[in-house]
A and B are shown apart, each in its own frame.
Chain A
Amino acid sequence: MADAHTAAPHGARSHLRHHFASLDAQKEAASLGMWAFLVTEVLFFGGMFAAYIVYRALFTRAFEGASNLLDLKLGAFNTAVLILSSLTMAMAVWAASQGRKNLIILFLILTIVLGSVFLGVKVIEYKQKFEHHEVPGPHFVVPEGLPRQAEIFFSLYFCMTGLHALHMVIGVGLLTWLILRARRGDFTVAYNSPVELTGLYWHFVDIIWIFLFPLLYLLGRHTL
């Protein structure tokens, strides 16, 4: 394992923890650990996808109608923003593998900006829902022409996109921490696991949205 390329200003500080036989073993374990964590995230969101599948099968008309009330332009825009943020995240990981500190920071900042744009759009969308009485609960008004089970669609919409947004917020927090570490010169060719692992997390959150977008925003457009 090439430690000679270390560009870290504080020289040969080893990131090897005492219980690992080698830096390679440590990286292997860290990577497997993050993927195992993503497995739990798949099942975590999966429970809500299961609820979605059941209710969509039972109340197709209500779901299609309610879905058409979502703002497709904002949803599609957000999808593009998130895909772009995945690219900038991948670039950050690439830059880290090259030990190029300024590029790492640049791409991390871009990713945060794009993530924040996504969250800002979500705030706008949620606000619209409040104004149109589409938030489930005591103030919900069944939209014109739709069965009352439209409320379940909106319950799932808020739960699924809400949990996704929470993951994005956590992601932005992680990226901020990475920027602070990058500024300290922590990431080198030899050691850049934190960037890589955070990248895995960010891409995963993107994958969740890749499924949320068609399932929530697009499912009823063919009835229009």
Chain B
Amino acid sequence: MSRAAEAEPAEPREHYLNAQYGVRSWLLTQDHKRIAILYLIGVTVFFAIGGVFAALIRMELLTPPGDLFQSETYNRLFTTHGVMMIFFFMIPAIPSVLGNFLIPLMIGAKDLAFPRINLLSWYLYIAGGLLALWAVIHGGVDTGWTFYTPYSTVYSNGYVVVTAVGIFIAGFSSILTGLNFLVTIHTMRAPGMTWMRLPLFVWAHYATAIIQLLGTPVIAITVLLVGAERVFHLGIFDPRQGGDPVLFQHLFWFYSHPAVYIMILPAMGVISELVTGMARKPIFGYKFIAGSSIAIAVLSFLVWGHHMFVSGQSVYAGLVFSILSFLVAIPSAIKVFNWTATLYKGSVSYQTPMLYALGFIGLFTIGGLTGLFLASVGLDIHVHDTYFIIAHFHYIMVGGTIMGYLGGLHYWWPKISGKLYPEAWARVSAWVIFLGFNLTFFPQFILGYLGMPRRYHAYPPEFQVLNVMSTAGASILGIGYMIPLVYFFWSMRYGKPAPANPWGATGLEWQTPSPPPTENFPVTPVVTREAYDYQTKEEPALG
């Protein structure tokens, strides 16, 4: 089943993992590959924390009465789940782990443009996360991850300011990552690596960087204003001083909608690589996928009001946001069509990365289509703040992004660790995750449509069956996530050594040993072939 696998000689060779030993060499590293590993550890920890809170939520929702936690406590549970998952897992995961590791390799560079800023962005991420964690340990915040005013600025008695500062610091980390990627892609491509030869993974991260740079500062200033209102009583959003809470929502969603594209674009970039690599076919419609990434980045800034249809926003503004929200679905759909066309008549290998890619395409389509339902003002008013919304975004964020993340982790694991993961176990866990995920979230579409509100821990008895299904699914999903954790660790010690190119894929990252040496390429590659050039089977010229 494995393709073109040349066994590497088993002599010790210097690479980025063993080039230097000791904690200092990791904590003071400027190597983008090591920083990616540092991020991998960080995002895994925060994902686990967010997952624990998800488990608590699902446990409470097993029975109709709110009997496991008090309402106040439940508010803190879902807020912590949201804050941890969104700001400390979803936004950083693929860019800071896979993007950091792969972008210099994919463009033939020795590192990112600003290695020290890369390390700084990791420290900022950890600092922000620890601050938010400190707030959680001391009781957390009960406002929802959306921090709507005036509750968050005036009435909440949680650790709003501390959490807001933690998010601010993590946002700065995201900005610096985007800045690094943007400059790197513009200025450090190897000779012959023109824009139109870039892997689509790189295009996806370029588009993501645009969003990170243009959007994150707005939420940064917004959380600062919330803090200023809470601490200094500077009432920008306080109705008692003439302020408008809806203005907070405008400023908040101006970032937080594009933020969801920060979460999905990198995953789409992964899928583009998986689909072409595992089907061994040039991608269908390269220019359309690259262009769609940029289109998504731009259009994503024009639709934020679709989160505010019931807020008191002007109906006319709502209609405009609605139409634009339909438009933003088009580039995503183009990508789905192109991935499918790539698979058609390809030599498809059903190994784990492909399983995740197929899962992504199916689940993202469902999530995306339900997004179109929500873009219709009339329908949104019916299901706003219900479990329909929760199902919609989890289909995209978990069924989409997390599948993309796991697929990418598996695909590039041989490159990152120099070891092969156990394929059989990986397939088992992919299936467990897929089935657990659908059992968790599909019932929530129905629950939401039937009217079960979100952020409530008590519900009418007639909703119990669906809730029990959802909790059962969540347990299965949780188990599914733990299996890769175990075998990835296992593979680092006991896995088979990986060749440079276990998948026989195109791309500069496969032309260097697994794991790569610290400087990535002993000689700077010169690129002469188009991306995904699967017709000719020779290796591209190096040097």
Contact = CB atoms under 8 A, between A and B. Distances in A.
Direct chain A–B contact by Cβ atoms under 8 Å: yes
A148 B113 contact: no
B161 interface: no
B188 A25 contact: yes
Interface in B206-262: 213-218, 220-222, 224-225, 228, 232-236, 241-244, 247, 250-251, 254
Interface stretch (A8-16, A27-35, A73-81, A187-195): A27-35
A148 B235 contact: no
B114 interface: yes
B524 interface: yes
A37 B110 contact: no
Interface string A14-48: 00011111000100110011001101111111111
A47 B179 contact: no
Given A25-B188, A29-B188, A36 B236 contact: no
Nearest to B237: A51
Contact of B242 (A32, A137, A152): A152
Given A48-B221, A155-B235, A25 B187 contact: yes
Given A29-B183, A40-B216, A149-B241, A51 B235 contact: no
B217 A19 contact: no
B234 A158 contact: yes
Contact of B233 (A41, A58, A136): A136
A113 interface: no
B186 interface: yes
A151 B113 contact: no
B233 A159 contact: no
A137 B186 contact: no
Contact of B225 (A41, A48, A147): A48
Given A37-B179, A46-B217, A54 B244 contact: yes
A148 B241 CA distance: 7
Contacts of B236: 51, 152, 155-156, 159
Interface in A44-68: 44-48, 50-51, 54-55, 58-59, 62
Interface size class of B (residues with CB under 8 A): 35 or more
B35 to A, nearest CB: 13
Contact of A19 (B111, B214, B251): B111
Given A29-B187, A43-B218, A155-B236, A36 B241 contact: no
Most chain B CB inside 10 Å of its own CB: which residue of A20, A28, A55, A152: A152
A136 B229 CA distance: 10
- A interface: dominant SS: helix
Most chain B CB inside 10 Å of its own CB: which residue of A17, A25, A138: A17
A50 B244 CA distance: 13
Given A33-B179, A36-B182, A43-B214, A28 B187 contact: yes
Nearest to B219: A47
B114 A33 contact: yes
B355 interface: no
Contacts of B54: none
B109 interface: yes
Contacts of B175: 40
B115 interface: yes
B241 A152 contact: yes
A155 B241 contact: yes
Interface in B493-542: 519, 524
Contacts of B228: 155, 159
Nearest to A35: B183
A58 B187 CA distance: 46
B28 to A, nearest CB: 16
Given A36-B179, A47-B251, A159 B234 contact: yes
A39 B82 CA distance: 28
Contacts of A55: 242-244
Contacts of A40: 175, 179, 213-214, 216-217
A111 to B, nearest CB: 25
A19 B110 contact: yes
Nearest to B111: A19
| Top 8 A-B pairs, shortest CB-CB distance | A137-B233, A149-B242, A47-B221, A44-B217, A43-B217, A19-B111, A19-B110, A155-B234
Interface of A: 17-21, 25, 28-29, 32-33, 36-37, 39-48, 50-51, 54-55, 58-59, 62, 136-138, 147-149, 151-152, 155-156, 158-159, 163
Given A33-B113, A51-B247, A151-B241, 4 more contacts: A33-B179, A40-B175, A45-B221, A51-B225
25 contacts: A18-B519, A19-B111, A29-B184, A29-B186, A32-B187, A33-B183, A37-B179, A39-B214, A47-B221, A47-B251, A54-B247, A55-B244, A62-B242, A136-B232, A136-B235, A138-B233, A148-B241, A151-B235, A151-B242, A152-B236, A152-B242, A159-B228, A159-B236, A163-B221, A163-B224
Interface of B: 109-115, 117, 175, 179-180, 182-184, 186-188, 213-218, 220-222, 224-225, 228, 232-236, 241-244, 247, 250-251, 254, 519, 524
